[in-house]
Structure formats: structure tokens, C-alpha cells
Structure 1
Amino acid sequence: MKSALQKSPIPEKYAFVAKTLTDPIFDPVWHFHSEYQLFLVLKGSGTRFIGDTVKPFTAGDLTFTGPNLPHLWRSDQEGKAGENLKHSEGIVVYFNEDLVGEHLFQKEEAIKLRQLFQNSLRGIEITGETAKSIRAMLMALLRLEGFAGVLELLKILDCLSKSSEIVLLASPGYTNTLKEDDTERMNEVYAYVMKHFKEKVTITTLAELTNMTPTSFSRYFKTHANKTFSDFISEIRVGHACKLLIEQEMNVSQIGYESGFQTLSNFNRQFKQITKRTPLRYKKEYHTNYRSRKLK
């Protein structure tokens, strides 16, 4: 098991690191680090965990996370065997707050940047035209060397700081309470749930997996995930249903059962509670937005 708190990926003589990731799956280990991170998914799909949020991801997913905010991207291909698996691809950028410099960071000109960095402690999803612009800038950043790369990264941060096309992810006041032993245990829980969420998953089963009593596990999970285990399972199932609504020609009833819900009424209720829309409305809005993006 990898360490939860990872060693800095930035060599001491550099201000930042920008690189492409090309693997069958993204790193599925629940972890955190002291650097700020920009991450763009170029290829691949799965489930994204940032702080106490759970959301599906696909190509184009762009996020900005602050220091010590736990995260993982679990690929749909995780656990599958075979040599013909499609690769997951992405661009990741790591940097520290001192990229800007403490003196400049405290000046009036940097007020929007300070707000951006503060918001990143909850994790930020970047959407719309801003995401398209940042994608092009990240591709350019990979080709730049020396101080030109620093200037391009500052341009990216400036663009983000001025954008309203952002979604804050973790709950207000979310605090990372995890230690290394905790993340290993939570990784076990996440791995089991992602493999079995279509079945009936009980607290008793997870308690046995983590060597705890059911009561202790329930309390432990709520403390570290900032939600009940039943809410967590519902989010995983609804996230899977969202992907099926977008990618598959199945009716709502089929999608509900395929996502682990035992009744259509429960599926509709949980889906609307989490996404604030019905399954059919979700599908219609997605395809309407997708067509409008294609036309631009």
C-alpha cells in the first residue's frame, strides 16, 4: 500500500512540475499531498473522490485541488484483466504556494488569486468555456521550458481566479482528519464498494472487512467521509447511473436496477435528491449542453 501522504513530486530546483499521465488506470490510491494540483482528464472514465464528494469523471474533467485534500480517481477499468484495456490519459500540474512569492501574494493585485487558493482547499471543478481555455493552456504548458512555463502557469491561475465557471466540491468546513492507517482502511472500503455496489452492501460486511464492530464502523466512516455509509453508497450508485444515462440506450428502470437500486421509486428519489433533477431531465440537459458545445 502506498503512503497516504506522498513525497513531494516537485524537485527542489524547480518551481512546478507539469506532465502527462498515460496508464491503463489512474492512480486509485486515496492520498493527499502538500502541493496544489491541476488535473485534466484527456481519456478515461470512472469515479472521482475529492474530500467528501463523489462524482463520475470522463474526458475533459478538470479539477484544481489544494494542499492536503484527500483525492483519488478510480477508473472504470480498475480490477479488469487483459491486455486490450484502453489507456487513461491526463495532464497533471503540481506547484507550491510560494510559486507566487509571499510578498506579492499579500498585495491587492493578488486578492482574486488568494480567494482561488482558499477555494481550492475544498477542491474546484472547472467547467464551460473556462475549462476549454485551460485545456489549451495546459497543452501549451507541456511544451514550454524555463521561465516561459512559469508565466504560462501564472496565466492559467489568473484565468481560474477570474472565472465564475467553477464548482466547489468538498462541503464547507471540510477538514482532512485522515492518518496513514486511516487511508489504507478507507482504500479497502472504497475498493470493496466499487466492486460490489450493484449488490446489497451491508455495514456488517464492511465492519468485518475492517476488523471493527458495525457500530464502530458506522461512526468511523461518518467521521472520515463526512457522511453516512448509506449516503455514500447512494452517491456511488447515482454516479454510475449518470454514466449509463449518458452512454447507454437503456430505459430508466433498467438503469436503476443496473446501478444497484432495488425499486424504481427509490432510484428516482435518490437520484433527484443527489442531482437535483430527475434521470430523464439529467439526460436531456447533458445532451443539450453537449450539442451546444459541439456547435461552438
Structure 2
Amino acid sequence: MQKKPLREVIAAPLDRAFRVYSHGYPFQFSGWHYHPEYELHAIRRSSGLCYIGTYAGPFETGNLILTGPNLPHVWVTDADGYGDGRQGDFIPDRDLVMQFSGAFAEKCLESFADCADLRVLLAQASAGILFSEAVGEPVARMMEDLRERSGPGRLALFFDILDRLLADKARQPLSVEWQSYQCLQPKRLDNILKFIAENYNRADLTCGEVARREAMELSAFSRFFERHISCTCIEYINRLRIYKACQLLIETENRITMVAYEVGYDTLSTFNRNFQRYIGSSPSAFRAHRRYGLMRSAHQIKKASAGGA
């Protein structure tokens, strides 16, 4: 299993600005991964936990979530989330996905004045967005229709989907903001977050090392990080470690001590303490509950996640 978020290469046709497809679970990129494209996920089958940036919480059939460029994410179906649609250990057509590039989005913003309001939605996507049930169901049907469309009607339907998303006043941000379009040094922020994503499982990773890579004094680096990510650097690293540990506890039989080591903790006591803080239970209880379908309700999970912020 990948310990670091895997960089997905999107193989979209050269004559298309966006693509829509469905995939089952497990999938080639159903692990912790990221890519430079925006991605709209409609979950059509199963339930479990999703990890989006620094967010961890439950997902279920009918969820509609938009992720921004280079925001690591994964949806992990657990033992009691397979339902009746499974084929052995495989769930067909679990996700319906629409992907489009940042370059295409920027071209739309530059070319069409009517697209100006979309900048707000695209900026919010840097944290991941969960849309309301009232919007999720009709948009999923529109995404299905989009797979069959061609010509100008296909482009019109794509913009109709974005318009529905923008009009959803009940949409909710999921993660801390991964990248702010108001940041005066977006490339520096990207470099910092990318380096952490690729190295958070190293026990010797420190915020000082990240600061030195950017030729910044630690105090200046800390202010920069907290201003744009809304938490400290060490808090951010610990969140990534614990959320990756959740995936390993669900998907593998690895001993808890091994899981702690694989996500970057060199002492079990520190791992257990942080796990309790962010998830609200011990690692062993979390694994047992997910395996036997006794996990706390979605409300409790969200409450525990918010309490660790």
C-alpha cells in the first residue's frame, strides 16, 4: 500500500476540456492520491470514511463532493459499507467522476464574464466541498447524461452542472484551505504542501526542515503557514498521519504498532494520543468498530473531527 499520496496522471483526450467516467472499488487510484485537475465525485454505492486534505469523516451513497487541484483524497469503503452491489471484494461503479483542468477553468473565467462567480466555487474547492442532498441527486443524473452528450450541448450541460453547484447555499467546506487564490506566494505554498504530502510519514520530518527548504526563518514560516492553512504546521502533519492511519487500519491487517510506524510515529504512545484526539477513539476500537459495523454515527464522527481542529 502507498504510504505517500500517489500522483495520478489524468489521461484525458486532447480534444476534450473535461471528462466523465465511472469506476469501481478498489480502483487503480482508490488509494491516497492527488492530481492537478478539479474533480467532482458522485458516490453511487457503498459507505465508509473519506479523507480529503486534512478532513476525515463518513461518506455514504448520494454524496457529491468537489475537490480542487492537488488536494489529496481517498474514499475507503469499510466492511459494513459494501451493501448488495458487491461482486466478491469489488464494488462496480462506486464513483461517478467529472474532471476538468485548472487551465480550462481559468480560460472560462478570462473569456466569459458570466463565469466570474465561478471563481468563488473554484477557490472553495481547494478545501473540498460537500454539496447538499437536494443538489447531489439531480447533479449526479446530469453527470450521467453528460457521458452521452456530444457537441455544443455537452459544453452547455457542463456549465449547467457548475451553475447548480454554485447555487447550492447549503454546501459545506470539508478540509482546511489547501491553497488560497489570494495567496501572494501560491507557488511557495504549493511547494510546502507538496513536500509535506510526500514526506509526512518520516518520523524525523520537522517544520524547521520544511522552513529551511523554502529559505525561511522558522518564525516567518510559521506565520505564513498558519495564515494560509488555518492551523500550525505540526498540527497539519499530525492530521495527515492520523487520517492515513485510519486507511491502513481499515484496509490492512497490519499491527497497530506497524501502522504507527508507517505513518511517521516512532512512539506508540504519541500515535495513540493523537489518534484519540482527532478520531475520538483508540486505534484498536476504531478498527473493531469499522470491521464489525459498530462505528459511531456520522454526527459523532463529525463532532469528534471538529473537536480536534
TM-score bucket (shorter structure): 0.5 to 0.7
Query: C-alpha distance in 1, partners of 2:265/2:305?
Result: 32
Q: Is the 8 A contact 2:64 2:136 kept in 1?
A: yes
Q: Deviations over 1:135-173 (max 9, x none)?
A: 221121111123322221111001111210211000246
SS state at 1:19 partner: strand
Match of 2:304 in 1: 274
Q: Is the 8 A contact 2:18 2:98 kept in 1?
A: yes
The within-5 A match list for 1:119-134 is 119-134=124-139
| 2:152 matches 1:147 | yes
The amino acid that maps onto 2:121 is: L
| 2:30 matches 1:28 | yes
Q: Is the 8 A contact 2:250 2:287 kept in 1?
A: no
Structure 2 gaps, min length 5: 180-188, 203-240
Q: Is the 8 A contact 1:50 1:170 kept in 2?
A: yes
State the identity %: 21
The within-5 A match list for 1:66-77 is 66-77=68-79
Change (3 A) 1:114 1:30: same
Which one of 194, 197, 203 corresponds to residue 250 of structure 2?
Answer: 194
Which one of 189, 200, 213 corresponds to residue 266 of structure 2?
Answer: 213
Change (3 A) 1:71 1:17: same
Match of 1:161 in 2: 166
Q: Is the 8 A contact 1:26 1:74 kept in 2?
A: no
Which one of 226, 231, 238 corresponds to residue 277 of structure 2?
Answer: 231
Query: C-alpha distance in 1, partners of 2:110/2:49?
Result: 34
Q: How many residues align?
A: 244
Change (3 A) 1:242 1:131: farther
Match of 2:7 in 1: 5
Q: Is the 8 A contact 2:71 2:178 kept in 1?
A: no
Q: Is the 8 A contact 1:10 1:17 kept in 2?
A: yes
What TM-score results when the alignment is normalised by the length of structure 2? 0.63
Query: C-alpha distance in 2, partners of 1:183/1:67?
Result: 19
The within-5 A match list for 1:169-188 is 169-172=174-177, 177-179=193-195, 181-182=198-199
The amino acid that maps onto 1:213 is: D
The within-5 A match list for 1:11-50 is 11-23=13-25, 27-50=29-52
Change (3 A) 1:240 1:135: farther
Deviation at 1:64, TM superposition (A): 0.5
SS state at 2:58 partner: strand
The amino acid that maps onto 1:147 is: P
Query: C-alpha distance in 2, partners of 1:157/1:24?
Result: 28
Change (3 A) 1:28 1:104: closer
Q: Is the 8 A contact 1:64 1:124 kept in 2?
A: yes
Deviation at 1:233, TM superposition (A): 3.5
What TM-score results when the alignment is normalised by the length of structure 1? 0.65
Q: Deviations over 1:241-294 (max 9, x none)?
A: 7999xxx7xxxxxx4xx66xxxxxxx9xx7684278xxxxxxxxxxxxxxxxxx
SS state at 1:148 partner: helix
| 2:115 matches 1:110 | yes
Q: Deviations over 1:13-48 (max 9, x none)?
A: 221110111345684311110000011111122211
Change (3 A) 1:118 1:106: farther
Match of 1:135 in 2: 140
- RMSD between superposed Cα atoms in Å: 4.3
Q: Deviations over 1:208-258 (max 9, x none)?
A: 44575339x96xx9xxxxx944333428978997999xxx7xxxxxx4xx6
